[in-house]
């Protein structure tokens, strides 16, 4: 619809002498109800400028506004309501979608620009938490959105693979660990060791000192320490990889926190040089009192680095390596302060690009009311959640469509899709609750619902080819005949896809795409109920089939952008 907005803005600004096209475009809106037109111009701001009543301005514009794309114009209560020529709209939009196919909705606005997206970033030796899942699906979707808009987008998994906790693990492993157990139980075993360490350390404080020493040895490059650490890392990554495979997520870089080990000295001396570093009881920190924040800790008493230190080193490294236009960090909002603090440190260091650092924060996920905390070892494993989703979906499919081929593949695409979609279904900052009933409901506002609409469209097209043969399905016909309310509703939504993709990018908000996909699927289902397709008379059938094809393409592209597969049958 953006192009119609621009076309109308051009006409209107030509009628007004003080207001430019851009300003009018920004004022134009989509009315809530079809009875109020397809696009409208509220005249309240113009009223102040021209010192005339909004209705007076609306009437004057209404008299003079005309174009062959416009069917009629009305002035109502200070609004100019513009009704587009439906036949022309239908023809233009559908031809555009069928022509562009997989690239419908994409643009080149990011050409030559790079974004780096730091997402997922689970912690080694700890289970993949449900918050990491949300980070993974939001980050992955942002990656696809940016790429679709022409950016080069770098996916970074900033693994939590460095820090004092590895000293603790080494101590625990040396005391109570066992090679065989570790091979067999992987992260579960590491988690047990970690929990045991904390229990024991409560009585025996010397354990903490030992752990600190081991971490200092790691930072100094001690061979034994690093060899054990390596083992923990490898075991963890193997487990994470299984989840990424299920989700269909890949990364360009697994440079985790440890990668910056040899880049931190430089940061520390730069901070010193810029006189930002202060000593406080042996530790080094950057004071942020002036900005109403607690200090950013840079070095502990024993000289070891911290989470902040590694993020600062990583940002400087990424700027020089990728020369990003934006660096995005996807974590839950519990880390808001952490990011505000070190973004401020980057600013104080004098780096202009501190403005390009963006924290994309999201809300908590709970499973049917239960928190999913990893404390006390009482964990719900994410891999189990995904496997259960697949199994439950298989049961549903078995009942709905027993003759379906390739049930396992479809169950995986739909089950995993349901979990992903649930994470993206409301604006990211909101806390969400995961329930099986809601996420897997084929009739609710869910991933399966959108996938099902896509499968329905694919099925109609397949049947048409079976019935009429390849040549029988000519996807043009009288597109201009698609003027009934249900068809026009779908067409107007199809026309909005490109702007939704851009909006999702600007707001860093994949839920804009998932919401859009739901709306489009709903109006497509309305269309489907009101309009016979295969039994319609020739030209009408062809036009309707073309519309179905346009919906299929657009739903598939939307699903792709949020990281869901689009099975043709389900
Ligand atoms: N590993 C961290 C965690 O699990 C998330 C890291 C986010 N990225 C970053 N550059 N700090 O909480």
Q: DSSP secondary structure string, 93-161?
A: HHHHHHHHGGGTT---TTTT-EEEEE---PBTTS---HHHHHHHHHHHHHHHHHHHTT-EEEEE---B-
Q: How far is the CA of 344 from the centre of ligand 1 (A)?
A: 18
What's the CA gap between 62 and 204, in Å, rounded? 83
Distance CA 200, CA 558 (A): 51
Assess contact for 193 and 173: CB atoms under 8 A: yes
Contact (CB, 8 A) for 40 and 79: yes
Beta strands at 432-434 and 365-367: parallel, antiparallel or unpaired: parallel
Could you tell me which residues come within 8 angstroms of residue 301 by beta carbon, excluding any fewer than 6 positions away? 281, 282, 283
Pocket residues: Cβ below 6 A from ligand 1: 118, 121-123, 158, 160, 311, 329, 331
The token duo for 169 is 């693990």
**CA–CA gap between residue 506 and residue 281 (Å, rounded):** 44
Counting runs of H as helices and runs of E as strands, what totals does the chain give? Answer: 22, 12
pTM: 0.94
* Residues 6 or more apart in contact with residue 493 via CB below 8 angstroms: 516, 519, 520, 523
Alpha helix positions (H), 401-446? 407-424, 436-440
* CB atoms closer than 10 angstroms to residue 48: 10
Q: What separation in Å is there between the alpha carbon of 273 and the centre of ligand 1?
A: 28
Classified as helix, coil or strand, 306 is coil
Q: How far is the CA of 119 from the centre of ligand 1 (A)?
A: 8
Pocket test for ligand 1, best of 158, 316, 328 (most atoms within 8 A of CB): 158
Contact 233, 169 (CB under 8 A): no
Angle 85-88-92 from CA coordinates, rounded to 5° = 135
Residue nearest to ligand 1 atom 6, measured at CA: 121
Distance, in Å, from the CA atom of 483 to the CA atom of 491, rounded to the nearest integer, reads 10
Q: Which domains does the chain have, with CATH numbers?
A: 2-84 (3.30.1360.70), 114-260+322-371 (3.40.50.620)
Of 122, 143, 130, nearest to 190 by C-alpha is 122
What's the gap in Å between 264 CA and the centre of ligand 1? 17
Q: Please choose from 142, 160, 166 the residue to mutate so as to test ligand 1's pocket, defined by most ligand atoms within 8 A of CB.
A: 160
Which sequence positions are flagged as catalytic?
126, 129, 132
Bridge partner list, 411: none
Pocket test for ligand 1, best of 122, 310, 335, 341 (most atoms within 8 A of CB): 335
Which ligand 1 atom sits nearest the alpha carbon of residue 126?
4
Residue by residue, pLDDT tens for the chain (570 residues) are: 888 999 999 999 999 988 999 999 999 999 999 899 999 999 999 999 999 999 999 999 999 999 999 999 999 999 999 999 999 999 999 999 999 999 999 999 999 999 999 999 999 998 898 899 999 999 999 999 999 999 999 999 999 999 889 999 999 999 999 999 998 999 999 999 999 999 999 999 999 999 999 999 998 999 999 999 999 999 999 999 999 999 999 999 999 999 999 999 999 999 999 999 999 999 999 999 999 999 999 999 988 889 999 999 999 999 999 999 999 999 999 999 999 999 999 999 999 999 999 999 999 988 764 544 444 445 667 888 899 999 999 999 999 999 999 999 999 999 999 999 999 999 999 999 888 889 999 999 999 999 999 999 999 999 999 998 877 677 766 898 999 999 999 999 999 999 999 999 999 999 999 999 999 999 999 999 999 999 998 889 999 999 999 999 999 999 999 999 999 999
């Amino acid at each position: 619809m953006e192009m119609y907005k621009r076309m109308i803005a051009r006409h209107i600004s030509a009628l007004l002498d003080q207001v430019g096209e851009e300003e009018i475009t920004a004022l134009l809106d989509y009315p809530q109800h079809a009875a109020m037109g397809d696009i409208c111009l509220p005249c309240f701001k113009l009223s102040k400028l021209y010192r005339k009543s909004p209705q007076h301005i609306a009437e004057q514009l209404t008299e003079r506004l005309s174009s062959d794309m416009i069917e009629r114009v009305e002035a109502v209560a200070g609004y100019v309501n513009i009704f587009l020529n439906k036949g022309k709209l239908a023809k233009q939009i559908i031809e555009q979608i069928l022509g562009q196919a997989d690239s419908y909705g994409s643009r080149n606005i990011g050409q030559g620009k790079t974004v780096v997206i730091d997402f997922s970033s689970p912690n080694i030796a700890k289970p993949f938490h449900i918050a990491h899942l949300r980070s993974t699906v939001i980050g992955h979707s942002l990656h696809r959105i940016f790429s679709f808009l022409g950016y080069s987008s770098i996916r970074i998994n900033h693994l939590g693979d460095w820090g004092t906790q590895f000293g603790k693990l080494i101590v625990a492993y040396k005391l109570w660990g066992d090679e065989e157990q570790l091979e067999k139980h992987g992260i579960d075993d590491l988690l047990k060791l970690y929990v045991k360490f904390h229990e024991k350390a409560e009585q025996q404080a010397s354990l903490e000192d030992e752990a600190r020493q081991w971490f200092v040895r790691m930072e100094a490059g001690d061979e034994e320490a690093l060899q054990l650490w390596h083992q923990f890392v490898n075991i963890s990554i193997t487990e994470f990889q299984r989840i990424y495979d299920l989700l269909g997520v890949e990364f360009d870089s697994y440079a985790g926190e440890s990668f910056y080990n040899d880049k931190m000295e430089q940061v520390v001396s730069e901070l010193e040089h810029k006189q930002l570093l202060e000593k406080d009881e042996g530790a080094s920190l950057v004071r942020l009192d002036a900005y109403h924040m607690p200090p950013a800790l840079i070095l502990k008493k024993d000289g070891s680095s911290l989470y902040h230190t590694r993020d600062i080193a990583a940002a400087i490294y990424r700027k020089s390596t990728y020369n990003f236009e934006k660096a995005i960090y996807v974590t839950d909002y519990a880390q808001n302060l952490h990011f505000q603090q070190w973004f401020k440190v980057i600013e104080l260091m004098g780096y202009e690009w501190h403005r390009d650092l963006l924290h994309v924060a999201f809300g908590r996920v709970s499973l049917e009311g239960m928190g999913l905390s990893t404390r006390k070892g009482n964990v719900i494993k994410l891999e189990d959640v995904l496997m259960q989703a697949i199994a439950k979906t298989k049961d549903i499919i078995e009942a709905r469509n027993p003759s379906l081929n390739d049930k396992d593949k479809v169950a995986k695409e739909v089950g995993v899709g349901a979990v992903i979609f649930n994470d993206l279904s409301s604006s990211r900052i909101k806390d969400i609750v995961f329930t099986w009933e809601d996420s897997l409901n084929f009739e609710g506002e869910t991933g399966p619902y959108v996938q099902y609409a896509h499968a329905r469209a694919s099925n109609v097209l397949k049947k048409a080819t079976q019935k009429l043969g390849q040549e029988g399905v000519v996807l043009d016909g009288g597109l201009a005949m698609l003027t009934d309310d249900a068809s026009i509703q779908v067409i107007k939504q199809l026309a909005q896809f490109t702007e939704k993709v851009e909006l999702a990018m600007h707001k860093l908000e994949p839920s804009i795409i998932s919401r859009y996909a739901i709306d489009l699927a709903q109006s497509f289902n309305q269309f489907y109920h009101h309009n016979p397709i295969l039994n319609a008379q020739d030209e009408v059938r062809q036009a309707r089939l073309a519309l179905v094809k346009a919906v299929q393409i657009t739903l598939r592209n939307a699903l792709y952008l949020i990281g869901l597969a689009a099975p043709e049958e389900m």
